[in-house]
Amino acid sequence: MPQQIASELVASIAQVHVVVGQRVEAGQEVVLLESMKMEIPLLAEDAGTVTGVFVEPGDVVQEGDVVVTVD
């Protein structure tokens, strides 16, 4: 079952560190969020291959929005 990595809060996307097809390790940072001048990394929970990237730098996401999927 694909892993869905979602935003934990309303934030803007500061950086996207992965592309579709890239292999990631458990604990690897995939996206960096910015909210109220704080940076919040989103991490892959498990190792796998990135199957979807749904944001780009500058996008604004809501709490619960899926930003990356890993299979």
**How many structural domains compose the chain?**
1
Residue 60, pLDDT above cutoff 80: yes
Rounded CA separation 25/21 (Å): 13
pLDDT, tens only, 20-37:
999 999 999 999 999 999
Quick one: pLDDT at residue 54?
Answer: 98
pLDDT, tens only, 33-50:
999 999 999 999 999 999
Read off the CATH number of the domain in which 52 is found.
2.40.50.100
Residue 1, pLDDT above cutoff 80: no
Domain containing residue 37: 3-70
Count the Cβ atoms, other than its own, within 10 Å of residue 67. Answer: 22
> Taking the model in full, what pTM does it have?
0.92
